[in-house]
Amino acid sequence: MTEKLSAAMAPAASRPAWTEETAETAGRGGKIVLQSLRQVYYIRNERKKLEEFVALEDFSLSIGEGEFVSIVGPSGCGKSTLLDILAGLAQPQSGEIHIDGKRVGGPALDRGFIMQGYALLPWRTVARNVAYGLEVKRVPRRRRAEICQKYIDLVGLGGFEDRYPNELSGGMRQRVAIARSLAYDPEVLLMDEPFAAVDAQTRETLQDELLRIWEKTRKTIVFVTHSIEEAVLLADRVVVMTSRPGRIKQVLKIDLPRPRTAAGMRVSADYSWINHRVWELLQNDDGPSGRAEAAPAGRSVADEIAPSTLL
């Protein structure tokens, strides 16, 4: 009987819902290739002398076409620095970025950037905000209107086309920002803590919507967050960063089934275990895994006592 019970529990324990990679092994080839990125800022020390502050160090990662990658790490670990470089808004001190084999030199419409602060144009209505990138691309007026309507509907803002940003809630503004980025059809969406400023309920709705939109459009998404749960819910792979300097600590490939929803994940034991594992990695902020500590080949010690079949 005892034997039978343990046999019944065995499959879950031997089939972890994630696998772990170190920075060196994290995906080769791919749509976006980041090679040994390093970024420094110059800050004044107590003696008013300029001092080098390393914000990003030896950051290498390869991201596949249509992949959803979350970057998670404590505040100040270099997430925004990384995304600014990816967007072409900042140049790294050293290292290179290639998208589709081409070196990234500056901002371009192949990448949509969605920030926490919405960055909408306050004097433009929803429809005209969404149209902005299409105007830059010189898409003819009629075609522009069609595309705008498609993405306004996709993010659930049909009926709000003529509103101005100050007449919208935070969640609605973020939907406009998403629609605006999708409308000019970028290859890659870069999102920097896009849902950090909205309430918890709206955040879940936006997460579900982003998942639905991603399933539909299959854009390559790099999503920065300091929320472990959000990173795991959304991503195919979660990149865990350490701070001072910002490096990759570990990359977790998330094997939770899709389609996912925030509510559905909340009752998944595997989801909880992955969250716990990411939390563990963040707690133990002692540099890249494999240098300071041996990376376990799947689950942590705590897994021995709680296979997902127990729930």
The contact set with Mg ion (CB under 5 A) reads 79-80
User: Which residue among 11, 76, 117, 158 contacts ligand ADP (CB under 6 A)?
Assistant: 76
**Buried b vs exposed e over 106-142: b needs ≥16 C-beta within 10 Å?**
eeeeebbbbbbebebeeebbbbbbbbbbbeeeebeee
21 vs 229, beta carbon nearer Mg ion: 229
Residue 247 binds ligand ADP (CB under 6 A): no
User: Which of residues 81, 116, 250, 289 is near ligand ADP by CB under 6 A?
Assistant: 81
Q: How far is the CB of 76 from Mg ion (least distance, A)?
A: 8
Q: Rounded to an integer, what distance in angstroms lies between the CA atom of residue 197 and that of residue 86?
A: 22
Find the distance separating the first CA and the last CA of the chain, reported in whole Å.
20
Candidate segments 70-78, 124-132, 141-149, 200-208, binder of ligand ADP by CB under 6 A: 70-78
Partner touching 115 among Mg ion, ligand ADP, none, CB below 5 to 8 Å by kind? none
Contact 70, 238 (CB under 8 A): yes
Binder of residue 162, out of Mg ion, ligand ADP, none (CB less than 5 to 8 A by kind):
none
- Write the CB contacts of 242 (distance below 8 Å, at least 6 apart in sequence): 73, 77, 248, 249, 285, 286, 287, 288
Q: Do residues 183 and 136 touch, judged by C-beta distance below 8 A?
A: no
Q: Is the peptide bond before 165 cis (omega within 30 degrees of 0)?
A: no
For residues 72 and 210, which CB has a smaller minimum distance to Mg ion in the complex?
72
- Residues in binding contact with ligand ADP, number by CB under 6 A: 12
C-beta of 72 vs 211, nearer to ligand ADP: 72
Residue 211 CA to chain centroid, in angstroms? Answer: 12
Residue 70 sits in the site that holds ligand ADP (CB under 6 A): no
Is 245 an interacting residue with respect to ligand ADP (CB under 6 A)?
no
